[in-house]
Structure 1
């Protein structure tokens, strides 16, 4: 029986719950989470269902047909036009129906379910030498089902075309509940089919008649450009060696039927690819150059304007990848050549350079030929949408005229006219996109909370639509229409063809329940806005400082719905989503829940309700969103804010108190060790588990009586004399009481490098209290730490730490928590030990005699380190050892997240996070490979699940010290 959140919102919920194997959710919270996508729109759905298989989909369609309830298929929810929001029962295919059913390499096709994510599909195909042609920017979160519904294209469409060029066959369920399978029909097969009386035959007959009747109008009205996804694809019928109704369903945005399976064509992956990045002094120059570059037969020509480049420079995730940007250009054209012979591609780059000189642009081409460097260029380019969403304040780049397309040779004149429209309304905009095919993504800066800007929203859309028609182009080149552009279809296609579109809709869906309001019979494009002039927020006085965002509400609203947090294969964000594939447990889901609560979508009291607790519960505070979310949403910060307010209303559970005061627990445990370690087994372990809510399957760390602090006090030969090379080494709770050997090795390494080490008396930095939302103790601990370290800070003595989560609290939380100049000074003067060593080495000031080691290291980076400091310093420190070969695992989060992995209800999720990448990679490593993990809980998880002992980087350095003289 599926889990049903029981709220009396709709009578269909119980019927669906009884009949489906998948999940059924009609509760207010879930409905709010699915009321938005990556667009500017918000419509609360009736409910959400998550089918597990084809039969579930049939049952959904059948059960809802009785009351003519609307249905809306949804994948990753990355739509920019509002295609995947509506007053309907949403069918989310991404959670369960994401299987690749069959791959036929001989005939170069694959059968896939709609929830398959594009990057995951290509990852599976990678060993075969094949790939899927269309590649959209949100490839890590976009599903192929959504791409089919949208007729998506991507950067390389000049080479690979649109989805319609790759879909061979579609299978699914019609609005009546009948099953369909549409593939290519020969002329004879079509004639036979037209004589039948089945529902699919009647649909084929109706559509075929419309295509024949309106042949001249179709030829006249449909733009003669490669990029056009507006309307229904009546122009596709009969073009591909037969009649294939699948071509009509592609791009129909779920308005005609529910697709449950697709057979798609595969393409050979080019062996090599190189990039030539053309720099321009003016935007106009880039537009004039693009049409000429097309003659060189590139695989892609991508535009990025200065606004986008500037945003990338401000992004902590992308600023270090901008090696391909020289100087301060007004625009870039990123030109890709691909093929089997690298020498031929280099000749293409030579030709590109000659062309640029001949056109009068000089030597403006930066060559990028190394594969990893090329990948970084594409990473920045793909981040365009998200980077634009990182703008703070009221006016933000809005998607509504971001999908225009004209013939490439018309771009100079078209973009000039486009800019004139924007200038007339006093609006700035970012320009980027696919110059190779004349499809540019223009994002005007508007504040849709203001009535004036909502007015501009409509006026600009109307004028730009007219402009595209004047140039023989389209208002929708790849992002689809949805709520943003469907309204203009009568004008774009004319009343005759628009009436034909309505007949197509009626033939498939006579009662109009398949994603209504899209393509035809659409509401005005300035209705159903996520914000709008009437939007207001209400929330308690926040604990933390949100001044840099303009307030707590603005910080929450930084989430623009781009769904980067729904990726499931690479990086760290978002660990809980990666293993649950549940929107509720994504960063976007949590941000949407908070936004709904402060803006009236949910009752104000829901902000600190048990329902919100469920949403926030599995946020493990990894901080990956702070780095990897293009909009830099910091969900760990929001969770802290929530926990503090939640505890104030509901009280603090005993487990939270105990784990939040880990320093006191460790101090007491250490004082009574080894007796205190008896709590690891038998009745005492049962009592510990029961009282503190710990999982019996998880081993507990052992208290050490011989703490690091005790060892340090016994080193009579050392004095606290301050030399010019003095450093302060912090003994954090975990290192001091559980793993003193790590700190001892750190002292050995620092002293071997000639530094005088000072160790203050160990105290708690407040990290556990912050993780558990214990505000007053966290503030007290932070203030005490700052006061203890202030004398060293004032003298400029570097503060060094070993445990990333503790030391990096100084940089990340302290300034917001304490809002003092002293905390900011500490943040600027504190370093992880390996950061300090790497910086000293880079400055030529490190003297460290290390033996050569011809061995391999597998590095797992701590989440907080990856998000706030990066792991480059760890690799650089390891590289100090001659002969050492270091490989970093793209392992995401280990799953422990401090105390999270110890707790009842979290253990299975914690293990699943580790088993996604980390544990299998370590098991596959040879026994001679050294495993490095700087986080104490990371090392604990690795030991528990793989039996391997992981080391801190300073332990590896200590073992390599040359002590022979």
Structure 2
């Protein structure tokens, strides 16, 4: 063919078998980055946030863009398909393929340059959006588009999907914010591209190189299809479906970079991007409008748009209800006005006066019209941020809601003109009813209403052949509805596999042919993310579930998984891929996932581990994991799980990896306990060891031996643990002290049983003693079990669940008389207290005594605030930084502590430090020391070191105090809340009052 001929439309063709082993060897020889073709990695990358699953050939983690280019050279030589992946949160299946996956997110994360005058910067594809904007903060500039996944989405992924977010109301889509791209074609051609003037086009064309051939074909493609593009492309703010052929039109200055934005890794590999930046608006205010229903709220959008809000979002009452059920964002929900649907209208400007003027101008204009609403006016940044979290939590909040059917993507981001949004929502709701998806608990509707983009998750039945066929029929009907209204199937997430098959209904066969020809210009051999957008897989194949999914759902489980119908398979399937566990910031109060925060490894995120467990159960014929509970790949991925339980609360789908890990380890070592590491016995059986030491009063002797130079190292080696300082036993246990002392106090408030957990009782009994003083001063009479008892925590965390259940059952029987009479049980160690509140009910969901114990177990702060009316704590004039234990964060909560400290006069700052890194046995286990210390060094230890000498380091967790004691170079020690309050009893004012 001549240089200006267009290729025939690309038709998907099966790829010849790739010599994967030889390719992996070549990659390891020629790539500086990490090359991973093991079964565990392939399992972790087998899906994204979509309905689809394809096991990759292998994964390459390049160390630089040039390294990625070397990897692509190797893949080309072996004829292997390739796929670029960022945060892996794509919802249409574009980040899963049987290909060599390039994961840019670990190393290619640099902001390479900033030109503040030109308002541009150059970035590598793996940089996370929030991190980019943090680095740009001093310039007063930021990258404008901001999806709800801004805390973990990468710029490469945003470019691939043409992302938008709420801020697109002001700044537009990614395509509107790209100056240039450095791209690598499948044949190895590499160049920068952007808008192309006629003069520049001539210079490129005259070179006669492969780039020139591409540009000539693009010019020919533009000329041939320009009229059809203008006629058929929807004239709406949120057309993300299809390729951006409109970027090639003269009115868009033949913008090749714009063409490639949103191409979902199907045309080229993006190596670098030059971004356009926008000024940060320092002043913002938020107006929330309440309406009787979501369609009526949508009707008001056209009247609001002329007031130029910088964001205009809509949420319905079902999204609010789902968040209430899952206890998400409770304080923010309380700020909402009256109504069953809400518009969140944000204004931004340089001055507070300007945003106030705009907001009041809007309200004045709506008054006495059909669009008038109930109003909440927020101008406190903290309250605004909380309310935005309501909107951003949409995906996670609507997945796995108790009492509701599972919901799925597929039709989750359609878009129409904002002027027809109300009409569309009514017709979409009718379609829900027609297909049986509508109910009082049915799909919620929310999204970027100012641009006509609607988000929803639908309770498709993707478990049966009939349900999958019904899903297909709905998708076809929904596509016809949107196409008939001049809308776009995708307003944000892209087509991928979910909607690629439907594009002819929106664009017509002529433009779909043009898309195929465009694909052939760049990728004639169909190596770039094949089967997505062009010549796509069907929307009902490669399903992660599907009518033929038949996982081996294990029987004989220890945990009963009551929230998943008793099914470990359903528990492992909880992860919806939103990726909040891939946290990069040290802000926001999130604990999960400590090991990912340190390693940056997908398989060390909650999501990655969930994917491995899902694959472990099989259900597909091509699964990379075939040895079930015996899987070494799963064990290796779970090895760096700290069992912090942060994901139990922080994950929007409430994945509880600590529980999954314990269950897995129990079965992994079943029948072969000799294969367990020694630390499972020394750390797991610590309560039994401590009980023996206490009975023999051998604490001082053990301490001397384990802390003697030379012998200490022998002790840790014998125990099979890391070379760390071994905690010291107390000379007298808490129960021994209490038996000698006996109960005292008036008991005016009643009697409370203080739980003598192993860590408080045998290592830090001073904390229990302080608690007794505080409680008796508060009017409580304190009792304590006479027998040595244990909650079983250390056996649970090491997966010795048979022993744990026996020990916990014995404890429950001993405590039963007290709790049956309505007595409260006070826990001082958060991890042990959380066993009664969380683990025990999941191990014994039908046991009434366990249920009572869960409801009647309290923390010290809860007892003194919620169960002690009128109590005034002793005044403690102090500043404190608080390291909140992970299990308190995840299970118990810290609100009562915050309130009690305030009443006590303590100026306490809760650190955004996440897990301390010790996490019970984790930090002592072999091979964990480096990760353990790195977790502590992220926030906790630097803040402790910089704190003033008089600043109290509040740490209720034994692990947290141990970590601080050993690793803080200044020799600081953590203080328990009970100790801090007891100090107030010793203060002069308290003595004088007494």
Band of TM-score, shorter chain: over 0.9
Conservation of the 8 A alpha-carbon contact between 2:805 and 2:843: yes
Conservation of the 8 A alpha-carbon contact between 1:694 and 1:903: yes
Residue 562 of structure 2 corresponds to which residue in structure 1? 547
1:392 Cα deviation from its structure 2 partner: 5.0
> How far apart are the structure 1 equivalents of 2:120 and 2:82?
29
Residue 870 of structure 1 corresponds to which residue in structure 2? 893
Residue 17 of structure 1 corresponds to which residue in structure 2? 28
Structure 1 runs (4+) greater than 6 angstroms displaced:
none
> How far apart are the structure 2 equivalents of 1:472 and 1:143?
31
Q: Find 1:941's aligned residue among 963, 972, 991.
A: 963
- Equivalent residue runs for 1:314-393 within 5 Å: 314-326=325-337, 329-360=339-370, 363-391=373-401
Conservation of the 8 A alpha-carbon contact between 1:118 and 1:139: yes
> How far apart are the structure 2 equivalents of 1:590 and 1:349?
46
- Equivalent residue runs for 1:895-910 within 5 Å: 895-910=917-932
Closer/same/farther in 2, CA of residues 736 and 239 from structure 1, 3 Å limit = farther
What is the TM-score with the length of structure 1 in the denominator? 0.95
Conservation of the 8 A alpha-carbon contact between 1:939 and 1:949: yes
Q: Would you say 1:464 and 2:478 are equivalent positions?
A: yes
Closer/same/farther in 2, CA of residues 733 and 8 from structure 1, 3 Å limit = farther
Residue 655 of structure 1 corresponds to which residue in structure 2? 679
Residue 7 of structure 2 corresponds to which residue in structure 1? none
Residue 648 of structure 2 corresponds to which residue in structure 1? 626
Secondary structure of the residue aligned to 1:11 is helix
Closer/same/farther in 2, CA of residues 284 and 799 from structure 1, 3 Å limit = same
Residue 714 of structure 1 corresponds to which residue in structure 2? 740
> How far apart are the structure 2 equivalents of 1:8 and 1:893?
43
Deviation per CA, 1:223-272: give whole Å up to 9, x if none.
11111122221211356774431111111111111112111111111112
Conservation of the 8 A alpha-carbon contact between 2:331 and 2:386: no
> How far apart are the structure 2 equivalents of 1:285 and 1:307?
15
Secondary structure of the residue aligned to 1:453 is helix
> How far apart are the structure 1 equivalents of 2:575 and 2:252?
45
1:362 Cα deviation from its structure 2 partner: 5.1
> How far apart are the structure 2 equivalents of 1:890 and 1:59?
39
Greater displacement, 343-352 / 568-577: 343-352
Residue 290 of structure 1 corresponds to which residue in structure 2? 301
Q: Find 1:768's aligned residue among 769, 783, 794.
A: 794
What is the TM-score with the length of structure 2 in the denominator? 0.93
Secondary structure of the residue aligned to 1:674 is helix
- Equivalent residue runs for 1:610-621 within 5 Å: 610-621=632-643
- Equivalent residue runs for 1:551-950 within 5 Å: 551-569=567-585, 570=587, 571-600=590-619, 601-602=623-624, 605-651=627-673, 652-670=676-694, 671-677=697-703, 678-696=705-723, 698-715=724-741, 718=743, 724-761=749-786, 762-819=788-845, 820-840=847-867, 843-844=869-870, 846-848=871-873, 850-851=874-875, 853=877, 855-882=878-905, 884-946=906-968, 947-950=971-974
1:917 Cα deviation from its structure 2 partner: 1.5
Closer/same/farther in 2, CA of residues 19 and 392 from structure 1, 3 Å limit = farther
Closer/same/farther in 2, CA of residues 604 and 71 from structure 1, 3 Å limit = closer
> How far apart are the structure 2 equivalents of 1:461 and 1:757?
63
> How far apart are the structure 2 equivalents of 1:951 and 1:8?
59
Greater displacement, 452-461 / 118-127: 118-127
Conservation of the 8 A alpha-carbon contact between 1:317 and 1:628: no
1:148 Cα deviation from its structure 2 partner: 0.4
Conservation of the 8 A alpha-carbon contact between 2:745 and 2:780: no
Closer/same/farther in 2, CA of residues 267 and 649 from structure 1, 3 Å limit = farther
Q: Find 1:519's aligned residue among 512, 533, 536.
A: 533
Aligned residues: 951
1:603 Cα deviation from its structure 2 partner: 5.0
Deviation per CA, 1:248-307: give whole Å up to 9, x if none.
111111111111211111111111222111111122211211221112211111111222
Greater displacement, 17-26 / 362-371: 362-371
User: Tell me, which stretches of 5 or more residues in structure 1 are unaligned?
Assistant: 1-6
Residue 125 of structure 1 corresponds to which residue in structure 2? 136
Greater displacement, 807-816 / 702-711: 702-711
- Equivalent residue runs for 1:140-159 within 5 Å: 140-159=151-170
Secondary structure of the residue aligned to 1:405 is coil
1:394 Cα deviation from its structure 2 partner: 8.4
> How far apart are the structure 2 equivalents of 1:549 and 1:673?
44
1:107 Cα deviation from its structure 2 partner: 2.2
Over the aligned positions, Cα root-mean-square deviation in angstroms equals: 2.0
Residue 983 of structure 2 corresponds to which residue in structure 1? 959
- Equivalent residue runs for 1:81-100 within 5 Å: 81-100=92-111
Deviation per CA, 1:72-91: give whole Å up to 9, x if none.
00011111100111111111
Residue 10 of structure 2 corresponds to which residue in structure 1? none
Conservation of the 8 A alpha-carbon contact between 1:184 and 1:243: yes
Closer/same/farther in 2, CA of residues 243 and 681 from structure 1, 3 Å limit = farther
1:319 Cα deviation from its structure 2 partner: 3.1
Secondary structure of the residue aligned to 2:459 is strand
> How far apart are the structure 1 equivalents of 2:219 and 2:948?
63
Greater displacement, 8-17 / 566-575: 8-17
1:889 Cα deviation from its structure 2 partner: 0.8
Secondary structure of the residue aligned to 1:301 is strand
> How far apart are the structure 1 equivalents of 2:299 and 2:70?
55
Conservation of the 8 A alpha-carbon contact between 1:173 and 1:259: yes
> How far apart are the structure 2 equivalents of 1:872 and 1:130?
36
Conservation of the 8 A alpha-carbon contact between 1:392 and 1:549: no
Secondary structure of the residue aligned to 1:506 is helix
1:830 Cα deviation from its structure 2 partner: 0.9
Secondary structure of the residue aligned to 1:875 is helix
User: Tell me, which stretches of 5 or more residues in structure 2 are unaligned?
Assistant: 1-17
> How far apart are the structure 2 equivalents of 1:163 and 1:196?
31
Conservation of the 8 A alpha-carbon contact between 1:729 and 1:801: yes
Closer/same/farther in 2, CA of residues 408 and 719 from structure 1, 3 Å limit = closer
